[in-house]
Chain A
Amino acid sequence: MQRRIASPSRSRAGRWGSAVVAASLLLALSGCVVQPVSSVTDEQAHQRFLTLLDDTQDLIGGQWEVRDDPTPRECVIPLWVPGTRMPALRVGEAPSSATAAAERVAEEWEALGIQVTRSDVGDVLEVKGETGDHELLVLRLSDSASTLLGESECRPA
């Protein structure tokens, strides 16, 4: 009798356990989905990105023109969560030595834990960076000008 009672109880418990596991899995997954990549506010994330750009400008030196568009761009956060990110465009004068400036920036970015890729595009030196929060940075240096492009972290819209 007890068995007969216990059996469905265990069955219910089993089903309940499965449901809890499934719900936990879903919750964990959805948690990944709805949580921003970094645990700061949207404003703090944007400010962090702007600071990175400003520090890079200072490292290269010279006069820079800030042409950042305050209008966000759409993006997608895995899994299929719509988000937005802020673009940036800075145009500066040519550094005294493009090679030395590229080297300084690459070293500084790497010290900050940014994944750096260097390449030559014709006579233009290009340094790309991607932070752990998926902020994107592209620095181009030539004998005629410098350009710093970027996109901030993709945050839920």
Chain B
Amino acid sequence: MLDLLLDATAVILASLTIATVAGPSVAPGGRDGDLASTSIIMSTDAPAAVDATLERSIPTTILPTPAEVRDIDLPTSTRQSAITNAPATPLSVRSLANLSGATLLNALTAMPPTAVTDYVSAHPQRVHELLEAPPAAMQVSGWWAGLDDTARRAISAAAPELVGNLDGVPYSVRNAVNRELLRDTIRELELHGLEAGRSVAAQNQQRLQMLYAIADALGPATANPPRTLLNLDTHDEGKVAIVLGDLDSADYVSYLIPGMFITVAGNVVEWTDTAARLYDEQLSWLSLLAEAGVSAETETVATVAWIGYQTPHLLNVGSLDLAYEGRDAIAATIDGLQTVRGADQPHISLLAHSYGSTAAMLALEQTTTVDAFAMIGSPGAPAASVTELNVRGDVFVGEAVWDPIPNSAFFGSDPGESTFGARVMSVAGSVDVITNKVLASSSGHNEYFSPGTESMRNLALIGIDKGELVTDGSQLDEGRTLALVL
């Protein structure tokens, strides 16, 4: 009950704030312009400013330390000492200044390994620029395939943030690079991050706590299924994606897209736990279906706890700016998966909550295509109906009691309206006609992912392409037995 009251209070506050603080629900300017205002830039503004100042104030032959490259704030004395002892920058790198995208990637790895390190150390903002507007995953994949081991090691060591977050780079490489970056950053913050002035030390302490949370979410090395650190941004609010299962081979891949208030520091453990429970539920269904003779053998799943964009809070939830950032990140992620999987495409589903459903719809309105899409607690999007979304299978919508967000249609249409054309996904609680399990109801804005709920059961089934078994709360549910899929 307390949770319910808190949910309701938070949502009412959010609604009031949306009404009073937010601007118009349309994005300012064109979408290309919006890219420039995404929080990728927000997340790198401060460090970039520091780097720019550093570059202007020192001779061009002097480089920052590795810790400075990673934007770990160090005491001024350490900074100056490192600057004095730094090696020279090769002059030939000046020609890289006007390159971008795949051209810049190719140019970087055409350089001798030490020169790559020197260049990235002297121009860390170029890495951020590449990640803000990355080449298509297909280009990245081709670029990576064309590198020899020396070049791969050199670029991974010089720019781990780049290699670890570029869609199109093999997942095993990204996992290894991201995990090493996580370890290194934690170590450097522990050793030096708290020696700075009080405010900087406090910021570093918060950052350290965020990184500890990511490490906790990854669990032990023996985690089963293995957990992959797919994305890692250690700056500011951070971004992260943790995969349970094997993205390279899973038959079904489900992405959990978060909404308002979900932060890396505060929620990555909980969000990964939700992905783990979704994984458990999907695996349980698949083994049941296999044992019942629906499929010849047990198929495999991967679930992704994805916090790949900066989610909004009360003061900016009324704007679509962050949804556009989410749109681009989702599009890049799906593009990356489809590129890596080549001819062996998995069934891909987006399971999106709240503001995350708005970001997902924006992505699906463009070129991103998935097999199934579920929205829960959605404030809507400019799309007027499911026909405007690139979803090969069904689109589902779930709305809980005491959740005022779904019917707000704040960003345009209300996906719960029959005219939108989405299938209803019941979250009200019932008894599963297949397993006889009592399914709990979800209420308020934040109980859709609670264990044992009808909501989680239905989300799991949507993710494994068993939409025919998804309940809608009608009398038809009595007939949604295994016979439908046999």
Using a CB–CB cutoff of 8 Å, the interface residues on chain A facing chain B are 67-71, 73-75, 80, 87, 89, 91, 117, 119, 121-124, 126, 138, 140, 142, 144-145, 147, 149
Report A119 CB to chain B, min CB distance, Å: 5
Residues of chain A contacted by B483 (CB below 8 angstroms): 122
Contact with A along B425-440 (1 / 0, CB 8 A): 0000000001110000
A144–B293 contact, CB under 8 A? yes
**B277 contacts chain A at the CB level, 8 A cutoff:** yes
In the bound complex, what is the Cα–Cα distance between A123 and B481 (angstroms)? 12
A124–B2 contact, CB under 8 A? no
Residues of chain B contacted by A138 (CB below 8 angstroms): 284
Interface of A is mostly: strand
Residues of chain A contacted by B481 (CB below 8 angstroms): 122
B224–A142 contact, CB under 8 A? no
**B21 contacts chain A at the CB level, 8 A cutoff:** no
B270–A70 contact, CB under 8 A? no
Partner pick for A140 among B269, B270, B287, CB 8 A cutoff: B287
**B418 contacts chain A at the CB level, 8 A cutoff:** no
26 A-B residue contacts at CB 8 Å?
A: A67-B224, A69-B223, A69-B225, A70-B223, A73-B276, A74-B270, A74-B273, A80-B2, A80-B3, A87-B280, A89-B283, A91-B287, A121-B288, A121-B434, A122-B434, A122-B483, A123-B292, A124-B288, A126-B435, A126-B436, A140-B291, A142-B291, A142-B292, A145-B290, A147-B291, A149-B280
Residues of chain B contacted by A89 (CB below 8 angstroms): 280, 283
In the bound complex, what is the Cα–Cα distance between A75 and B273 (angstroms)? 10
Q: Name the residue in A68, A71, A75, A117 with the highest tally of chain B Cβ atoms < 10 Å from its Cβ.
A: A71
Known: A70-B220, A71-B220. A121 touches B287 (CB 8 A): no
Q: Name the residue in A69, A117, A140, A142 with the highest tally of chain B Cβ atoms < 10 Å from its Cβ.
A: A69
Which B residue's beta carbon lies closest to that of A91? Answer: B287
A69–B224 contact, CB under 8 A? yes
| Total chain B interface residues with beta-carbon distance under 8 A | 31
B223–A121 contact, CB under 8 A? no
Q: Which of B250-301 contact A (CB under 8 A)?
A: 269-270, 273, 276-277, 280, 283-284, 287-288, 290-293
**B92 contacts chain A at the CB level, 8 A cutoff:** no
Report B219 CB to chain A, min CB distance, Å: 4
Partner pick for B292 among A68, A70, A124, CB 8 A cutoff: A124
B292–A121 contact, CB under 8 A? yes
**B57 contacts chain A at the CB level, 8 A cutoff:** no
Which B residue's beta carbon lies closest to that of A119? Answer: B436
B290–A119 contact, CB under 8 A? no
Residues of chain A contacted by B225 (CB below 8 angstroms): 69
Report B481 CB to chain A, min CB distance, Å: 8
**B199 contacts chain A at the CB level, 8 A cutoff:** no
A75–B287 contact, CB under 8 A? no
**B113 contacts chain A at the CB level, 8 A cutoff:** no
In the bound complex, what is the Cα–Cα distance between A71 and B242 (angstroms)? 14
Known: A89-B283, A121-B288. 15 other contacts (CB 8 A): A68-B224, A71-B223, A71-B224, A80-B3, A121-B434, A121-B482, A122-B434, A123-B291, A123-B293, A140-B291, A142-B291, A144-B291, A145-B291, A147-B288, A149-B284
B277–A124 contact, CB under 8 A? no
Which B residue's beta carbon lies closest to that of A145? Answer: B291
B219–A70 contact, CB under 8 A? yes
Task: For the complex of A and B, list the 4 residue pairs with the smallest distance between their C-beta atoms, beginning with the closest.
Answer: A71-B219, A142-B291, A122-B292, A122-B482
